[in-house]
A and B are shown apart, each in its own frame.
Chain A
Amino acid sequence: MTQNIRKAIQFVHRGEVITLDAFSPRRTVLDWLREDMRLTGTKEGCAEGDCGACTAVVGRLKDGQLVYQPVNTCILLLGQLDGAELITVDDLAQDGVLHPVQAAMVAHHGSQCGFCTPGIVMSLFALYHEDMRPVTREAVCDALAGNLCRCTGYRPIIDAAMDACATGAADSFMAARATTQAGLAALAGPDDVLVGDESSFFAIPRSTDGLARLCLAQPDATLLAGATDVGLWLTKGLMELHKIIWLGRIEGFGAIEATADTLRIGAGASHADAHAHLAAIDPDLGEVIRRFGSAQVRASGTVGGNIANGSPIGDLAPCLIALGGTVELRRGAEVRTVPLEDFFIAYRKQDRRPSEFVAAVTVPKLRPGQQFRAFKVSKRFDEDISAVMGAFRLTVDGGHITEARIAFGGMAATPKRATRTEQALKGISLADEEGWRAAFDAIATEFQPLTDQRATASYRSIIARNLLLKALMEIAGSDGTRLVDRASTPHRHSGAAQRSPEPVAEPT
């Protein structure tokens, strides 16, 4: 960061450009709203991005188009608003006239205690602005998966959403769309941002080279992607992070590039951005992403951040390992690529050196003869962290398995391959269920899982075995193995992916 440094963040709020040049790098959007602005419509329910009471909507330009996405303001850092429009529940009614989603919520008796209601209204506001009509019940439930309501049982809220979204979006925000887009375009300049000083800052590099330089200069800074985990370090861990480098405005950092054989996902791509592309590889992969957190989490959280953070459970990592994915790491000008399974060294320890950052993840597509299955087992179906995540890629030739790649999350301190099972599967016939026994014997020896609040070790061990059985049965042609059919899961590609299902760039 040697030149063109902006010393303030800028964002649009209520039609005005807000410029903030002094704030703690740890300040959350929610605290800024409630404490600094005294805008108390947005509520804190959990301060960890799980209940959605704090949901607001952030508008950003994606490929020149204004896209509205829901965010959990309790764990969104103030600096992450740079270049965006912020809309909260305080802003929807105009001159005492309720917004269509608000009016529908009233008409359908969608609030009882009312505390979750502002967040629900904002999630529905984002849904209302999606290019999806008609809105299905499944899509509504998906849009609401990150909003807990303890009073209503959700039925009237779902009805309100269906009602409000029965016709196309026609509100004051649509009317002001061109103005808003122009306003955001004016904030799209290429300047790096640094609020604070060398010892305490919120930095926003705008180019990958700039990021590389900044990481070298500030090896102890925290790299922040979506803040869906780092946010909790602050709100729950009360960690004193002084130096934060946010990766959300780096040109091209979230690019998704597809070739005939591979998909390269830039580290900055959100789960919402990547959803359609991953779903195109296999519907199970799409469903894993759909069940990833909530709409709010998928809008903020990134593929790169999920990998870099190295959760032992991380739903995506086992899938990408099974697919033979690699991670691209960069330090200064030096770029190296490691197989994803080797990136995870130990519990919360990754093969990432100081000043090095995850630049991209590359996933091989399925080749002819390859079949993929992924199963997430969690206490609650939506918006939960898996007890066990199993991912299977089997190569089948003439009814026999010629190659297997299997990875599990939740079974060890890191996402881990089941290599003995893979070996045992080689050459077996799919038609001969008795012959699968060697693989079941093998998988029983692979892992020593833990007992924790999500599951006991014995449950995890049985699940690992049973998911293998399920994958084999399905690939062998059985149906009736699932509660929700593989092809019929509700897909709702939120955000940019909804608007541009084609790859952003298609290099030759």
Chain B
Amino acid sequence: MNIRSIPGSPLEPLRHVHQPLVHDSATRHVQGTAAYIDDLREPEGTLHIACGLSPVARGALKGMDLDAVRRFPGVVAVFTSADVPGSNDVSPSIGGDPMLAEGRVMFHGQVLFAVAATTRDAARRAARLAKVEIEAETPVVSVDDAGRDGEKVLPDYAFERGDIEAALAASPHRINGMFRIGGQEHFYLEGQAAFAIPKEDGEILVHSSTQHPTEVQHVVAKVLGLPDAFVICEVRRMGGGFGGKESQATQWAAIAALAAHKLKRPCKIRLDRDDDFATTGKRHDMRADYRIGFDDAGRITAYDVDYLTRCGCSADLSQGVVDRAMFHSDSSYWLPVTRINTRRLLTNTVSNTAFRGFGGPQGMLMAERMIDEIAWASGRDPLDVRYANLYREGEDITPYGQKVSELGTMHALIRQLEATADYRARRKDIAAFNAASRIIKRGLALTPVKFGISFTLKQLNQAGALVHVYQDGSIQLNHGGTEMGQGLYQKVAQVVAEEFGVDMARVRITATTTEKVPNTGPTAASSGTDLNARAALNAAMTIKARMADHAASLWNCAAGDISFRDDRVFHGNDSMGFGELSKKAHLDRVQLSATGFYATPGITWDRAAKKGSPFLYFSFGAACAEVEIDTLTGENRLRRVDILHDVGKSLNPAIDIGQIEGGFVQGMGWLTTEELVFDAKGKLLTHAPATYKIPVASDLPADFRVALFPNTNRADVVYASKAVGEPPVMLANAVFCALADAVHALAPGTRVPLDAPATPEAILRACEAVQGRAMGGER
């Protein structure tokens, strides 16, 4: 462990770490010179691929007449499942994700075949000329269609603590309910893209917009029937990922690779936005059926929840996603007796996948609904019910057996936000406003975030890095993490520059490639920096130690007396440039290249026993949101949001604030305007930004106050920082709860049957319901 990551040690100020340096690609982003897959200069002879998609959600694929497709001018080849030399499966887990449909279709938009043509336009036009014969069957579209005991992609799984039936029976108060939580389209601005270039002897280079280059490599190899070593996957950056390119970038890379392999020509695929919507998975939508027991103090005595989760047509990452919903079903609350059951339902819709938060948001939102239910039933302020149920000493074991660390952080953070957001005074003001306002009602909510950091699949908690120091003292940095805008490359570079004591300009960030660092996990689970910065730091420390030894030999001193700072190397008053030492070390045959490796220590999880400590630590946060709604239309505005968030000791406060604000707004979109609508035949009607509405600039609250909670990570994490990628999404729960609070103002004491997303229609439906009117016509 690096000595400087020990909190409170007397050290010289850090030059790069903890500084708000700009994203490494910022100046290229603003000039349009940061290259994405489709910007790469195409080698002569490059072909473009478009896919033919199923117009039916479920049925037997009887035949495909592709003659017209093949005859279309510019078409070079058409590929079906029969053309796959290896395995026709792009699944990240247990299988069931055919690259090209084979025998049956499982969802509307499933890829049936791929067309390679000289232009993208020709490929797209040709793909629409296929005559497909499918014996259509009635699809299972929603979780209600599937039913509690419908077909599953994975077995049911539950956490249980205590005798739930007895606890419910003994509870002074009981509430039963159902809560629908919508899915979410990632809407990364750069759609799925891959570019495959054939090399010698069957080798292939795949540029892929993926969060998981290693999986792309392995799946491409499997599809082509090649050893992994024949395939290189490279990604310099993604135009956004959010989980949508964790497992589901693979199919496109594999299709491009198949065409390139067969045709011996470079082949590129870039999905049209509508096709991207149709063919790639979303955040899992869920229906939570719940029973709550609580006492006269508003404390939870029993919580029974049964999640019906729409996994789509295959398992994909649903095990991890739905498990994480369970891990976060407590939000920040002590559940003395609980049963958290999950049903992983198979539907004839696109296979749902990772999305920032990975199930956590759904688990936590339901817990906040539980708190609001208790508040509505007991006449208490919801914040007081939250306080009454927060984990505390002696009541700090999660339903899966991990002790919640940093209870002090959790409590202090929420108390601080309550004060800085002026919660109590505003609560009074809002009550006065609502009493005087007939049409417009305001609402307020303060909700906590506690998010467990680490992959719950243990083998993913490892990372590698490769660092080279060249003879001129310039440094090349490579690691297994991918850059999707989150600033990972910049943070890792800051750590490496800090270690070598050099200017940031010396550290050249290079594209992630399976050629340099093999066997990596996905950049996911908020863990990119925790894992990769540590691996890179380990590599840098190895080289630095060798350089220090060499400098010590030159100066005839102990290596411990050598220091690296200000872009130079010092021994007492003597110094030389970092480049000078690099050159000297090389001439003396010192190896200036090293790999680094890191595996998260100390985490345990026994899924079968449902016990362990799967998380290295927790990240905390809280948000306070004030909204107002129009009770005639359901339209709403966000008046003010206060956020206090814990990132430990921030590696880069500017980047971390960016993650917090961006995550919050993305979560807000999920809970308000972003509505996925499928028709009865399983076709996604909200298929593009014209119909699927993510937040725009004016959706931000006019008054938006975001602060970092001063903290330090007690776990052994690089420079005492904490992960930041996913937890802020759940700060948006405050917006949803505030909207419910505003509806509640229409009829205090009444339960608010507001489902997510809280679109204007959903809000109006809830307004009508609390006033005793049924709106009818639910989808």
Tell yes or no: B239 within 8 A of A by CB: yes
Q: Select A109's contact among B22, B187, B272, B689, beta carbons within 8 Å.
A: B22
Q: Are B696 and A115 in contact (CB under 8 A)?
A: no
In the complex, A466→B773 CA distance in Å?
Answer: 14
Contact B693 A118 (CB under 8 A): no
How many A-B contacts if CB must be within 8 Å? 270
Residues of A within 8 A of B23 (CB): 109, 111-112, 114
- Given A151-B485, A153-B664, A158-B697 in contact, is the A43-B239 Cβ separation under 8 Å? yes
Question: How far, in angstroms, from A221 to B743 measured CA to CA in the complex?
Answer: 53
A63 to B110, CA, bound (A): 53
A41 lies within 8 A of chain B by Cβ: yes
| Chain A residues within 8 Å of B778, by CB | 456
In the complex, A255 has a CB within 8 A of chain B: no
Contacts A43-B239, A106-B26; A51 near B32 (Cβ below 8 A): no
How many Å lie between the Cα of A466 and that of B214 in the bound state?
Answer: 56
Q: Which of B30, B677, B686, B690 contacts A117, CB < 8 Å?
A: B30
Q: Which of B190, B664, B702 contacts A115 (CB 8 A)?
A: B190
**Known A116-B189, A118-B32, A483-B630: A151·B696 in contact at CB below 8 Å:** no
Chain A residues whose CB sits within 8 angstroms of the CB of B438 once the complex forms:
478, 480
Q: Contact between B36 and A43 (Cβ–Cβ < 8 Å)? A: yes
A contact residues around B188 at 8 Å (CB): 113, 115, 150
Residue of B nearest to A118 (CB): B32
Q: By the criterion CB–CB under 8 Å, are B697 and A145 in contact? A: yes
Q: How far is the CB of A428 from chain B (nearest CB, A)?
A: 19
Asked whether B658 is an interface residue with its Cβ less than 8 Å from the other chain, the reply is yes
- Using an 8 Å CB-CB cutoff, how does the interface string of A463-489 with B read, 1 for contact, 0 for none? 100110110010000101111100000
- Is A459 close to B, CB under 8 A? yes
Determine if B476 is an interface residue (Cβ-Cβ < 8 Å). no
Give every chain B residue within 8 A of A89 (Cβ-Cβ): 30-32
Residue B420, interface by CB 8 Å: no
From known contacts A153-B666, A458-B776, infer whether A380 and B32 are also in contact, taking CB-CB under 8 Å. Answer: no
Closest to A453 in B: B685
Q: Does A149 contact B (CB under 8 A)?
A: yes
Known A42-B32, A113-B237, A115-B239; contact A380-B187, beta-carbon cutoff 8 A:
no
Q: Which of B19-51 contact A (CB under 8 A)?
A: 20, 22-23, 25-36, 38-39, 41
Contact between A482 and B630, CB atoms less than 8 A apart: yes
Q: Give every chain B residue within 8 A of A105 (Cβ-Cβ).
A: 26, 29-30
Assess the A113–B239 pair: CB atoms within 8 A.
yes
Q: Roughly how many angstroms separate A330 CA and B27 CA in the complex, as a whole number? A: 52
Q: Which of B34, B635, B765 counts the most chain A CB atoms within 10 A?
A: B635
Interchain CA distance A358-B665 in the complex, whole Å: 42
| 627-643 of chain B: CB within 8 A of chain A | 628-630, 632-633, 635-637
Size bracket, chain B contacts: 35 or more
B602 at interface, CB cutoff 8 A: no
B60 on the A face (CB < 8 A): no
Q: Is the beta-carbon distance between B30 and A106 smaller than 8 angstroms?
A: yes
Docked Cα-Cα span, A326 to B37, in Å, equals 50
Which chain A positions have C-beta within 8 A of B556? Answer: none
| Contact pattern, A 356-374, Cβ under 8 Å of B = 1, otherwise 0 | 0000000000000000000
Known pairs A40-B39, A459-B775, A467-B632; A148 contacts B189 (CB<8 A): yes
Cα of A164 to Cα of B271 in the assembled complex, Å: 35
Of the candidates B125, B632, B657, the one whose C-beta lies within 8 Å of that of A466 is: B632
Chain B residues lying within 8 Å of A382, measured Cβ to Cβ, are 696-699
A93-126 residues with Cβ-Cβ distance < 8 A to B are 93, 98, 102, 105-107, 109-118, 121
1/0 per position for B646-674, CB-CB distance to A under 8 A?
00000000110110011111100000010
Determine how close the nearest CB of chain B comes to the CB of A151; give it in whole angstroms: 5
Whole-angstrom distance from the CB of B547 to the nearest CB of chain A? 33
Interface residues of B in 684-714 (CB under 8 A from A): 685-686, 688-691, 693-700, 702, 704, 706
Asked if A459 contacts B33 (CB within 8 A), the reply is no
Determine if B124 is an interface residue (Cβ-Cβ < 8 Å): yes
In whole angstroms, how far apart are the Cα atoms of A141 and B128 in the complex?
39
Q: Check B675 for interface membership: any CB of A closer than 8 A.
A: yes
Q: Report the minimal beta-carbon distance from A46 to chain B, rounded to whole angstroms.
A: 4
- Provide the residues of chain B in CB contact with A157, threshold 8 Å: 697
Which of A107, A118, A150 is the one whose CB lies under 8 Å from B666? A150
**A348 interface contact, C-beta 8 A:** no
Whether A456 lies near B26 (C-beta < 8 A) is: no
Residue from B23, B189, B675, B778 whose CB has the most chain A CB atoms within 10 Å: B189
Q: Is A281 an interface residue (CB 8 A)?
A: no
Task: List chain B residues, Cβ under 8 A from A336.
Answer: none
Question: Within 8 Å CB of B31, what residues of A?
Answer: 41, 89-90, 92-93, 98, 102, 118
Q: Is B746 an interface residue (CB 8 A)?
A: no
Residues of B within 8 A of A106 (CB): 22, 26-27, 30
List the A side residues contacting B696 at CB < 8 Å.
Answer: 141, 144-145, 147-148, 154, 380, 382-383
Per-residue CB contact flags for chain A residues 129-148 toward chain B (1 = under 8 Å, else 0) read 00000000110111011011
Contact across chains for B700 and A154 when beta carbons are under 8 A apart: yes
A45, A111, A140, A155: the one within 8 Å of B29 (CB): A111
From A102, A151, A457, residue with most partner B Cβ within 10 Å = A151
Tell me the smallest distance from the CB of A476 to a CB of chain B, in Å.
13
Task: Determine if A483 and B636 form an interchain contact, defined as CB atoms under 8 angstroms apart.
Answer: yes
A236 to B242, CA, bound (A): 26
Given known contacts A154-B665, A454-B691, A145 and B698 CB-to-CB distance under 8 angstroms: yes
Q: Which residues of chain B have C-beta atoms less than 8 A from A478's C-beta?
A: 438
CB pair B760 A482 closer than 8 Å: no
Nearest-neighbour CB distance to chain B for A443, whole angstroms, equals: 13
Is there a chain B Cβ closer than 8 Å to A47's Cβ?
A: yes
Task: Given the known inter-chain contacts A50-B688, A113-B485, A114-B29, please indicate yes or no for A483 contacting B628, CB distance below 8 A.
Answer: yes
For residue B487, CB closer than 8 A to chain A, the reply is: yes
- CB of B229 within 8 A of chain A? no
* Interface residue A333 (Cβ < 8 Å from any Cβ of B): no
Looking at the complex, which one of B22, B699, B768 makes contact with A462 (CB distance below 8 Å)?
Answer: B768
Chain B 753-768, CB-CB to A under 8 Å as 1, else 0, gives 0000001110011001
* Smallest beta-carbon distance B51→chain A, Å: 14
Task: Please tell me if the beta carbons of B32 and A40 are within 8 angstroms of each other in the complex.
Answer: yes
Q: How far is the CB of A78 from chain B (nearest CB, A)?
A: 14
Contact mask A377-400 → B, CB, 8 Å, 1/0?
A: 111111111010000000000000
Q: Compute how far the CA of A459 lies from the CA of B706 in the bound complex, rounded to whole angstroms.
A: 36
Q: A458-B777, A480-B440 are in contact. Are A467 and B633 (CB under 8 A)?
A: yes
- Known A-B contacts A53-B189, A102-B30, A109-B23; A156 and B658 likewise in contact (beta carbons under 8 Å): yes
Smallest CB separation, A298 vs chain B (Å) = 15
A112 touches B779 (CB 8 A): no
A483 near B189 with CB under 8 A, answer no
Q: How far is the CB of B641 from chain A (nearest CB, A)?
A: 10
Does any Cβ of A come within 8 Å of B557's Cβ?
no
Q: How long is the Cα–Cα vector from A109 to B241 in the complex, in angstroms?
A: 19
How many Å lie between the Cα of A380 and that of B757 in the bound state? 12
Interface members, chain B 91-143 (any A CB < 8 Å): 124-125, 128
Indicate whether B484 reaches chain A with its CB closer than 8 angstroms: yes
User: Which residue of chain B has its CB nearest to the CB of A39?
Assistant: B32
Given contacts A114-B29, A150-B240, A153-B700, contact A459 B764 (CB under 8 A): yes
- Chain B residues near A88: list those with CB within 8 A: 32
- Tell me, yes or no, whether A451 is within 8 Å of chain B by CB: yes
**B238 at interface, CB cutoff 8 A:** yes
* Contact A457/B777 with A112-B662, A381-B635 known, Cβ cut-off 8 Å: yes
Q: Does A238 contact B (CB under 8 A)?
A: yes
Q: Tell me the bound Cα distance from A262 to B211 in angstroms.
A: 59
What are 13 pairs between A and B in contact, CB < 8 Å? A43-B189, A90-B32, A111-B30, A113-B238, A148-B189, A151-B662, A153-B662, A154-B697, A156-B661, A236-B274, A375-B633, A480-B437, A482-B440
12 further contact pairs, Cβ within 8 A, besides A115-B188, A387-B760: A40-B39, A48-B690, A98-B27, A102-B30, A109-B658, A113-B484, A115-B240, A148-B689, A153-B695, A383-B696, A459-B775, A480-B438
Closest 4 CB pairs of A and B: A41-B32, A113-B485, A115-B239, A114-B29
